[in-house]
Amino acid sequence: MRAMRLIRAMALGLLGLAGLAACRAQAVPTPSRWSQPAADLSTQIADILGPGQAQVTIRNLSTIPPSEIPSVRKLIEQDLKAHGVLASGAESANSIRITLSENARERIWVAEVVEGSETHVAMVHVDVSMASVSTADARMVLRSERIAGLSIRIGGLVRNDPILAAAEINGHFLVIYPDRISIFSSAAGVWTEANTIMMERQLSRDPRTVLAANADGGLFTAYMPGTQCIGNYSLPMAGPSADSGWSVRCHASDDPWPVYQSGDASSATPLKAFYNSARDFFTGIVTPGIGVDLPPFYMAVMIPRAAGGAALLISSIDGNVQLIENGAMRSVAGTRDWGSDFAVVRSGCGAGTQIIASSSGEAENDSLRAFEIPALEALPASGPLTLDGTVTALWTAQDGKSAFAVVRSATAEYEVDRVTALCN
């Protein structure tokens, strides 16, 4: 018996591998996911009709590919037969009209069972699930990896709150939303929400956040409009506990926010910038002063220069990208299509450090692309990496080697993608 099971398992495994290979080549029917709803609907139909014959018709008003309909039909007919209901021709007095339908939330399969002049309705629902990823390639390749599990589902629906910032610190994923900080713990490779700290504060229309952690991962500071939150980590008590170990305290604050500095561009005194909470941009005032009057800006990073030293790169609110170097501020060419946010990554490829910026071109979805700025022009260092929506936030990860992008999909769901640059 065990040997039989083993052979069957191996056969199934081979079939699975063959199926996987076919999946890569083209979309193929996956009838097994229809087994349950087919069985449920057949049971309901049989309860109405009892054993006998009926003409079965199926129409598809859903997004199920037409190629899968024969499989669905076969499953339903098999299940009906198991209940004593046999599919027959048009001569039958009974008919079963099955409609594969859907609404915005779920698929619904409906059977109209017609017995003479009477029509009875049976209905089952099928969860809709869909997923897609994309990558791009060039001499340097950007790769994105979705951080799974950071979406909070309530009643089967994704709670579409904007994600402002996120960071992986001390084995936890900290995610900042407009009204709360959620701490996710990893269980079996999936992030699940461990605890949430609500913040009751005045919101803003285009909120921003900078999340900074210290080197040992025992402390983080979240800079938000008008508010600063400090998180401390202490090992949770032994044994199973829902507590993540993080305690977070928030207070009103107008302190300047830290400007990201690439590891190879760090200066002795970290640069900080004052933030206008009522208008959602940095005022242009930085500390310590750098000897140049900066315009208001959305984003600033310190980047290393080929000749040594560091320069400040800002995206000013008038849409220009400016480089501040040696006491002078100059526009950077080749940035016309950049979004307001960008991130610096130390890939080790090419010049060593690249700027990842978002753009959209004429496309519906945004893309990310790595650039280098050897002089005063941004030169593409990678091909565009098309994302599944629009980029609403982009920043450098704690390790300095990758970036995080918050992507808002067409269905208004927010996801965090980790973006890394790989040498080609």
Partner 1 sequence: MARTRPHYGGTLRVETAGDPWQHPDGIARRLVYDGLTQLDSDGALRPALALTWESDGNNHRWQFRLRSGVHFHDGSPLTSAVVVASLTTSCSSECPWTAVKAVGPLVVFTSDSPMPNLPALLAGNAFLIGSGPMGDGNPTTRQGTGPFQVTGFNNGVLTLAANENCWQGRPFVDAVEIRVHRPVREQWLDLGVGRADVVEVPAEQLRQAQQQRLSVLTSPPLVLVALQVADSGTLANVKLREAIAAAVDRSALYNVIFQKQGEITASLLPQRLTGYSFLFPAGRDMNKAQELRGGLTSGPLTLATESDGAMQLAAQRIALNLREVGFNVQMAPAGANYADLILRKLQFTGIDRAASLEQVMRSAGESGPVTEATPMALFKVEQMYLGEKKLIPLLDLPLACARGSRVRDLHLRADGTPDLADASLEDVR
Residue at 146: amino acid letter:
R
Contact 260, 247 (CB under 8 A): no
How many CB atoms lie under 10 A from the CB of residue 251? Answer: 8
Region near partner 1 per CB under 8 A, out of 48-56, 118-126, 183-191, 346-354: 118-126
The SS3 assignment for 381 reads coil
The SS3 assignment for 44 reads helix
- Residue ranges of the alpha helices (H) in 108-167? none
C-beta of 107 vs 172, nearer to partner 1: 107
Q: Is residue 417 a contact point for partner 1 (CB under 8 A)?
A: no
Binding marks (x or -) toward partner 1, 305..334, rule CB under 8 A?
A: ----------x-xxx---------------
CB-based burial of residue 404 (10 Å sphere; 0-12 exposed, 13-18 middle, 19+ buried)? buried
Q: Is residue 107 a contact point for partner 1 (CB under 8 A)?
A: yes
Q: Within positions 125 to 184, which residues make up the interface with partner 1, using CB under 8 A? A: 125, 157, 159-160
Nearest distance from C-beta of residue 107 to partner 1, angstroms: 7
Nearest distance from C-beta of residue 195 to partner 1, angstroms: 17
Q: Is residue 106 a contact point for partner 1 (CB under 8 A)?
A: yes
C-beta of 322 vs 358, nearer to partner 1: 358
Region near partner 1 per CB under 8 A, out of 34-42, 119-127, 131-139, 399-407: 119-127
Cα–chain center distance at 149: 9
| Letter string b/e over residues 154-192, b meaning 16 or more CB atoms within 10 A of that residue's CB | eeeeeeebebbbbbbbbebbbbbbbeebbbbbeeeeebe
How many CB atoms lie under 10 A from the CB of residue 378? Answer: 23
Q: Is residue 220 a contact point for partner 1 (CB under 8 A)?
A: no
Which residue of 88, 196, 360, 386 would you call a contact of partner 1, by CB under 8 A?
360
C-beta of 264 vs 280, nearer to partner 1: 280
- Residue ranges of the alpha helices (H) in 50-161? 69-82
Q: Is residue 366 a contact point for partner 1 (CB under 8 A)?
A: yes
Length of the chain: 424
Nearest distance from C-beta of residue 52 to partner 1, angstroms: 23
C-beta of 228 vs 398, nearer to partner 1: 228
Which residue of 184, 257, 282, 338 would you call a contact of partner 1, by CB under 8 A?
338
3-class SS letters over 285-354: EEECCCCCCCCCEEEEEEEECCCCCEEEEEEECCCCEEEEECCEEEECECCCCCCCCEEEEECCCCCCEE
Name every residue whose Cβ is closer than 8 Å to that of residue 217 and which is 6 or more positions away in sequence. 169, 170, 233
Region near partner 1 per CB under 8 A, out of 214-222, 241-249, 265-273, 356-364: 356-364
C-beta of 186 vs 204, nearer to partner 1: 204
Q: Is residue 203 a contact point for partner 1 (CB under 8 A)?
A: yes
Nearest distance from C-beta of residue 319 to partner 1, angstroms: 6
∠ CA 305-306-307, rounded to 5°: 90
Region near partner 1 per CB under 8 A, out of 106-114, 180-188, 259-267, 370-378: 106-114
Q: Is residue 337 a contact point for partner 1 (CB under 8 A)?
A: yes
Which residue of 8, 74, 81, 336 would you call a contact of partner 1, by CB under 8 A?
336
The SS3 assignment for 233 reads strand
Q: Is residue 22 a contact point for partner 1 (CB under 8 A)?
A: no
Name every residue whose Cβ is closer than 8 Å to that of residue 193 and which is 6 or more positions away in sequence. 152, 182, 183, 184
Q: Is residue 339 a contact point for partner 1 (CB under 8 A)?
A: yes
Which residue of 67, 103, 134, 234 would you call a contact of partner 1, by CB under 8 A?
103
C-beta of 100 vs 271, nearer to partner 1: 100
Residue 264 DSSP code: G
Please tell me the distance from the alpha carbon of residue 282 to that of residue 401, in angstroms, as a whole number: 25
Nearest distance from C-beta of residue 343 to partner 1, angstroms: 15
Site residues, partner 1 (CB under 8 A)? 61, 99, 101-108, 110, 112, 121-123, 125, 157, 159-160, 200, 202-207, 278-281, 298, 315, 317-319, 336-341, 358-360, 366, 390-391, 411-412
